[in-house]
């Protein structure tokens, strides 16, 4: 009986290609918005920690950037986060989209030498019937010695309880690492910057998702209102013109969408001051990239 009541805690890495639903899963399992979500590739650029504490223990999720081959310093930094999460994790959840037609040899090659338990998580099952799910399990079951294969829908929150139960089963007996009320280790500025970037990603197309980032310069309490000044970086003047929009309408809409969510988050009035700044080749600048981590 005592063994059944023992708490299990540990670090769980969420990995997979871009747009497989890792961030959607993290927000759903955490019952809070921890990571921004977008249909654009490489939305998650930095490892995000989600800390879930229950009576069974504590799961510390690493939501890592989508796995891809890097071409800029930014992407190299993103992939370093992926490798770090794989090294530090007690358990790995490898996410695939049920629509994926074949296994990803690049991702599988990263897993081979780790000697850690790996779950195959087949996401977005709400889009298909039982036959398709069984077919996908059969297709992937022998490509790697999976500890578990779990079909879920992060968006519709299907089988998340089952997945959480299995995670606790594989984690070591531990009391936990963080206070029970801690949800994430993100800084306030990072969260605000990501929220603004999410609204930009909602509205842009083509190469802009890759060439845009946000830096929060200031968060100041002015009694009746919280003042936030943020800069949206682009790499050239033509991109700036797109983000400004005719009569400044584009950036105004981004600000309106972000401000509404920020006011819900802070539960108070927010004045969001947005500026578009041209920073050529920022994705290859060690100085800029280090500033974005602050």
For residue 238, give the CATH number of its domain: 3.30.300.20
The verdict on residue 1 lying in a domain is no
pLDDT in tens, 85-123: 778 889 999 999 998 877 777 778 778 878 899 999 999
Q: Residue 49's pLDDT band (boundaries 50, 70, 90)? A: confident
Q: What percent of the chain has pLDDT over 90?
A: 43
- Note whether 12 and 150 are same-domain residues: yes
CATH code for the domain of 91? 3.40.50.300
- Note whether 87 and 215 are same-domain residues: no
CA 212 to centroid of chain Cα atoms:
17
- Note whether 133 and 199 are same-domain residues: no
pLDDT in tens, 242-278: 888 877 788 899 999 999 999 988 899 999 999 999 9
- Note whether 288 and 243 are same-domain residues: yes
The rounded distance, in Å, linking the Cα atoms of 48 and 230 is: 21
| CB proximity list for 6: less than 8 A, separation 6 or greater | 173
- Note whether 166 and 197 are same-domain residues: no
Alpha helices in the chain (DSSP H): 22-30, 73-88, 105-111, 130-140, 160-170, 188-203, 208-211, 237-244, 249-266, 286-292
The verdict on residue 235 lying in a domain is yes
Cα–Cα–Cα angle for 73, 75, 80, rounded to 5 degrees: 95
pLDDT in tens, 123-176: 999 999 999 999 999 999 999 999 999 999 999 999 999 999 999 999 999 989
DSSP assignment, residue 209? H
Structure tokens at 197: 């970037």
Structural domain boundaries enclosing 220: 188-292
- Note whether 44 and 148 are same-domain residues: yes
The model carries a pTM of: 0.74
The verdict on residue 210 lying in a domain is yes
Domain boundary, last residue among 113, 139, 170: 170
Contact between 119 and 93 (Cβ < 8 Å):
yes
Domain boundary, last residue among 109, 138, 170: 170
Domain boundary, last residue among 140, 170, 200: 170
- Note whether 37 and 160 are same-domain residues: yes
The verdict on residue 160 lying in a domain is yes
Domain count, the chain: 2
> Rounded to the nearest 5°, which phi and psi values hold at 13?
-90, 130
The verdict on residue 177 lying in a domain is no
The rounded distance, in Å, linking the Cα atoms of 186 and 293 is: 10
pLDDT in the model for residue 66: 55
| CB proximity list for 45: less than 8 A, separation 6 or greater | 65, 74, 78, 213
Contact between 29 and 52 (Cβ < 8 Å):
yes
Tell me the CA distances in angstroms from 13 to 4, 57, 210, one per residue in order. Answer: 25, 17, 24
For the residues of 218-247, what is the DSSP string, one character each? Answer: EEEEETTEEEEEEEEEESSHHHHHHHH-GG
Tell me the CA distances in angstroms from 152 to 53, 98, 127, 143, 211, one per residue in order. Answer: 21, 9, 11, 19, 32
- Note whether 166 and 226 are same-domain residues: no
> In which residue are the tokens 């063994």 written?
3
Contact between 28 and 160 (Cβ < 8 Å):
yes
- Note whether 48 and 133 are same-domain residues: yes
> In which residue are the tokens 């929060």 written?
216
Q: What percent of the chain has pLDDT over 70?
A: 83
The verdict on residue 176 lying in a domain is no
The verdict on residue 182 lying in a domain is no
The rounded distance, in Å, linking the Cα atoms of 196 and 36 is: 9
- Note whether 19 and 152 are same-domain residues: yes
- Note whether 159 and 192 are same-domain residues: no
- Note whether 204 and 137 are same-domain residues: no
The residue-averaged pLDDT of 182-186 equals 86
């Amino acid at each position: 009986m005592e063994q059944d009541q023992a708490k299990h805690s540990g670090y769980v890495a969420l990995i997979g290609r871009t747009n497989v639903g890792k961030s959607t899963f993290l927000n759903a399992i955490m019952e809070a918005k921890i990571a921004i979500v977008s249909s654009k590739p490489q939305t998650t650029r930095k490892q995000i920690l989600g800390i879930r504490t229950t009576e069974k223990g504590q799961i510390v999720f690493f939501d890592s950037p989508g796995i891809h081959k890097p071409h800029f310093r930014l992407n190299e930094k993103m992939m370093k986060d992926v490798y770090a999460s794989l090294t530090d994790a007690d358990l790995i959840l490898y996410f695939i989209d049920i629509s994926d037609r074949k296994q990803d040899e690049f991702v599988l090659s990263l897993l081979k030498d780790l000697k850690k338990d790996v779950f195959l998580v087949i996401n977005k099952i709400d889009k298909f019937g039982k036959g398709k799910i069984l077919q996908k399990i059969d297709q992937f079951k022998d490509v790697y010695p999976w500890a578990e294969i779990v079909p879920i829908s992060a968006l519709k929150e299907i089988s998340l309880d089952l997945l959480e139960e299995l995670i606790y089963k594989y984690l070591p007996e531990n009391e936990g690492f963080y206070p029970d009320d801690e949800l994430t280790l993100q800084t306030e500025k990072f969260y605000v910057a990501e929220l603004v970037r999410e609204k930009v990603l909602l509205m842009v197309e083509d190469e802009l998702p890759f060439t845009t980032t946000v830096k929060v310069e200031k968060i100041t309490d002015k009694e009746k209102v919280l003042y936030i000044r943020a800069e949206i970086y682009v790499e050239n003047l033509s991109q700036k013109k797109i983000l400004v929009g005719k009569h400044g309408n584009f950036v105004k809409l981004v600000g309106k969408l972000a401000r509404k969510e920020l006011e819900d988050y802070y539960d108070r009035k927010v004045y969001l001051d947005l500026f578009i700044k041209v920073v050529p080749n920022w994705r290859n600048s060690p100085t800029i990239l280090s500033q974005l981590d602050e």
